[in-house]
Amino acid sequence: MKKTASQFILFLLLIITCAADAQIVATDKQQEEKIHALIGQMTMQEKVSLLHGNSKFYVSGIKRLGIPEWALSDGPHGVRAEINRDNWAYAGWTNDSSTCFPPGTALAASWNPKLAYKRGIVLGEEARYRKKDILLGPGINIIRSPLCGRNFEYMSEDPLLISKMTVAYIKALQSKNVAASVKHWLANNQEENRGTIDVSMSERALREIYLPGFKAAITEGGAYTVMAAYNKFRGDWCSENEYLNRQILRGEFGFKGVLMTDWSAAHTTVKAAMTGLDLEMGTDVKDYNEWYFANPLIKAVEEGKVPVSVVDEKVANVLRVMFNTKMFDEEKREKGSMNTPEHQQAAYNSAAEAAVLLQNNGNLLPLHFDKIKSIAIIGDNAIRTHCGGGLSSEIKTLYEITPLQALQKKFGATVKINFAQGYEKQSTFREGANSGQANSDKIDWKLIDEAVRVAKESDVVIICGGLNHDFDTESSDRQNMDLPYGQDVLIREVAKANPKTVLVIIAGSPVKLAGIVNRVPSILWSWFGGMEAGNAVADLLSGKINPSGKLPFTIPVTLEQSPAHALGNFPGRNLAVNYEEDILVGYRWFDTKKIQPQFPFGYGLSYTKFLIGNFSVNKQTYGKDETIQAKFTVKNTGNAYGGEVVQLYASDPVCSVLRPEKELKAFEKIFLKPGETKTVEMRVKVADLAFYDETKKAWNAESGAYILQLGNSSRDIFRKVTISVK
C-alpha cells in the first residue's frame, strides 16, 4: 500500500515535470512562431531599422507592428544619466540621479556572488524606472596588466571569480526584464590603441583565461546581449570576427541573443553581417541612414551580397530579446524604482564587504574612537568624489559621501578632526590621451608640511590616497604603477611625524606599495566605493564593520614583475600585441615563476582570526565525469564577528603540458561569530581540472595525481589533499 502511494506520487511528479518541460518548449515555440510571423510582415526597410541606432542610445521600433523603440543605457555599476539623443551632452533630466555602486574590482573583491545578485536586482529596478531595456554591463575583461585604464570597471585576473560574479549579476538584472550586455567581447585588455590594436594569443590562453567569463555569462547567466570590443582579434575586428562570433559565440555557446558593436566599432556592412553582428551602435556619422547596417545593408541585400535570411536571423535575435524582457507585455513588466533606502543599503553593503585589509601591524585598526581625542585626516581622496568619473561608466549619483564627511558626521562630536589636503590633483582628464596624466609627480612641500603639522598634533592619522578617474579611466592606460602627485613622499613624511598612520587606498587597479609597506603600520584598500564610500570607510576604520574583502588581482612589487610587462608585451608594437605570457596571467604567473608579489591574489586580513581545518574529500580516486566533494571546517578563533573567503586551488604536478602552479577552482565566503565553527562543502567537477589541449582541440583532464589546496590566498595554503583521476 505504502509502496503504491509513493509510486503514485512519483508518477504525479513525473507528469508535472514533463508538463513543465513541455510548457517551456511550447512557449519557446510559440515565441519563435510570433517572431517568424512579425518578420513576415516587415519590409526590408523596417527590418534594417531594427539593426542600427537611431540616436546615441536608442534603436527604432516599428509602430505599425507594435514593436517599441529600444532604450539602452550605460552602467556596469549604476544607470547612467540620460544623454541627448544626437550628441554626447547630458540631457539635464531631473529624475536620473541614480544609485552608484562601487565599480567592478570592488565587487569582485567582496568574493560574494550574493552581492553581485543584489546589485543586478537594484540595477534592474533602476533601469526599468528609467524605462531602459538594455543595460550595458557587466564589463568582464581579464585584468591582464596593472596599467589598463578600465581595470576598475572589470573584475579580476581570474576567470572563475569573474564567472561567479557575472552569472549572479546577469541573472538578477534580467529577472527585472532588463537585458544585460556583457562586454567587451573579446580581449579588450588595454585602452591604448583600443580601436586599432590587433590581439593575438594562443588557443589555450583563449580557452582557459579569456573565454570562461563570457561562456559562463551566456551558458549559465543566459545573457541576452553581448557587446563586441573595439580591438581586432587575430587579424579581424571583433565586430566582424567569424571565429569569435559565428563559431564560438553562436556555435559553441549557443548564443541566441543580440551581438552589438561597441560605440562606433562597426567597420563594414557585408563582412559584419555575414559573420554574425546584429546591431550597430554609436557610429560617428550624423545621418543614421548611412550607417553600415542601414541603407548600405539594404543595398547589399539587393545586390545579393547578404541573403535575406541573414537579415531575418538578426531581426529574430532582436525580437527574441524583446520578448524575453517582456517588451510586448508591459503589464507584466517590472515597473522599477529609484534610489530607495534598500538600494542605498545595497551600495553600502557592497562597499563595506569589498574593502581589503592589507596590513595591520600592532593591530592599530580598528580605531577606538571613544578613546581618541584628535585625528588627522589627510589626502585629496578624503574629500574627492569619484562616481562621476571614468567615462562611460560615470554615474550622476544622488549623493556621494566622502571619507572626511563620514568621519566628521560619525565622530566629529567627540573627536577633533584636523584635515590637511596633503597633495593636490595635478592631472586633468582628457579623453583618449594619457597626456592628462602627465606632470603628475610634482611634490608640493607646502601641502606636505601642513600635513606633517596636523599629523604631529593628532593622536592618529588617516591618509586617504590612491588614484582617481584621471588614471582609472576608460580610453587611456596609466603610464606606470606609481602613486601620483608625490604621495610616496607625503606618506613617508607623515608617517615619520606620527607612526600611528593608517593608509586608506582608493583605487581600482594595482599601485606600487613597495616604499610604503614598511613605513605605515596599517593599510586598508577601500576601492572606489560608490555613493556610500565614506560611510563604509568610517565603519571599517572604527570596527563597526570587519574587513572581509580579498584581492581580486595580484599587487606586484614592481610593474616589471607582472607577466605582460616582464615579457615586454604591453601595450604592443605597431598596433599589434601578442599575449606571450599565455595562460600565466596574474597569480598563475607569480606562483609558477616563484616571484614574490607585494600582496598575492586572494589576500586580505580581518580583525578576527580564522582556523581552516579538517580538510577531506569523499574519495581517493575519481573517474573523469565525477565530482569531487571537498569538506572542511572554518572556525572564528578571534573575538570579532567576521567573514573569511576560503579558496580551493588545484594543481596538476605531472602533465604533458605546462600547468600553472595552482588555479582557483572554488571559493566560499563564510561569516562567523566569535568561537563559531561551520562545516563547508565545495564541489569541483573533475572535468574542471582539465587544461585545453591544443593538439586534440578539446579539454583534457589527464589521468594521474592532482593536488587540492585549501587556503585564504594563492600564497596562504593551509591544507592539501592529493587525489587521483583515472
Question: Could you give the 3-state DSSP secondary structure of residue 460?
Answer: strand
Q: Does 47 bind ligand BGC (CB under 6 A)?
A: no
Angle at 214 between CA 208 and CA 215, to 5 degrees: 70
CA distance 166 to 45: 36
- Pick from 29, 45, 17, 20: nearest CA to 323: 29
Residues 172 to 211 in contact with ligand BGC, rule: CB under 6 A: 183
CB of 88 to ligand BGC, least distance (A): 9
Angle at 713 between CA 709 and CA 718, to 5 degrees: 45
- Whose CB is nearest to ligand BGC? 392
Whether the CB-CB separation of 180 and 221 falls below 8 Å is answered with: yes
DSSP class per residue in 436-458? GGSS-----HHHHHHHHHHHHHS
Q: Does 132 bind ligand BGC (CB under 6 A)?
A: no
State which residue, 74 or 663, has the beta carbon closest to ligand BGC: 74
CA distance 382 to 252: 48
Residues 311 to 370 in contact with ligand BGC, rule: CB under 6 A: none
Q: Does 70 bind ligand BGC (CB under 6 A)?
A: no
State which residue, 391 or 447, has the beta carbon closest to ligand BGC: 391
Q: Is the peptide bond before 296 cis (omega within 30 degrees of 0)?
A: no
State which residue, 387 or 497, has the beta carbon closest to ligand BGC: 387
State which residue, 74 or 198, has the beta carbon closest to ligand BGC: 74
Binding residues for ligand BGC, total number by CB under 6 A: 6
Residues 74 to 103 in contact with ligand BGC, rule: CB under 6 A: 74
- 497: which residues sit within 8 A by CB, 6+ positions away? 452, 455, 456
State which residue, 262 or 472, has the beta carbon closest to ligand BGC: 262
- Pick from 651, 633, 645: nearest CA to 721: 651
CB of 73 to ligand BGC, least distance (A): 9
State which residue, 80 or 478, has the beta carbon closest to ligand BGC: 80
Q: Does 136 bind ligand BGC (CB under 6 A)?
A: yes
CB of 185 to ligand BGC, least distance (A): 11
CB of 278 to ligand BGC, least distance (A): 16
State which residue, 392 or 405, has the beta carbon closest to ligand BGC: 392
Whether the CB-CB separation of 428 and 476 falls below 8 Å is answered with: no
- 61: which residues sit within 8 A by CB, 6+ positions away? 50, 67, 68, 69, 70
- 538: which residues sit within 8 A by CB, 6+ positions away? 403, 406, 407, 410, 411
CB of 137 to ligand BGC, least distance (A): 8
DSSP class of residue 308 equals: H
Q: Does 262 bind ligand BGC (CB under 6 A)?
A: yes
Count of all residues that appear for the chain in the document: 726
- 85: which residues sit within 8 A by CB, 6+ positions away? 55, 56, 57, 58
CB of 57 to ligand BGC, least distance (A): 8
Q: Binding residue for ligand BGC (CB under 6 A) from 129, 210, 263, 615?
A: 263
Q: Which of 74, 262, 278, 582 is catalytic?
A: 262
N-terminal to C-terminal alpha carbon distance within the chain: 44
- 447: which residues sit within 8 A by CB, 6+ positions away? 420, 421, 422, 423, 424, 490
CA distance 235 to 255: 23
CB of 402 to ligand BGC, least distance (A): 26
CB of 432 to ligand BGC, least distance (A): 10
State which residue, 395 or 650, has the beta carbon closest to ligand BGC: 395
**β-pair partners for 19:** none
CA distance 159 to 165: 10
State which residue, 87 or 627, has the beta carbon closest to ligand BGC: 87
Alpha helices (H) in 526-576, listed in sequence order: 533-542, 563-566
CB of 258 to ligand BGC, least distance (A): 14
CB of 246 to ligand BGC, least distance (A): 23
Question: Could you give the 3-state DSSP secondary structure of residue 572?
Answer: coil
Q: Does 392 bind ligand BGC (CB under 6 A)?
A: yes
Q: Does 472 bind ligand BGC (CB under 6 A)?
A: no
State which residue, 392 or 427, has the beta carbon closest to ligand BGC: 392
Let me know if 444 is a catalytic residue.
no
Q: Return residues touching ligand BGC (CB under 6 A).
A: 74, 136, 183, 262-263, 392
Active site positions, annotated: 262
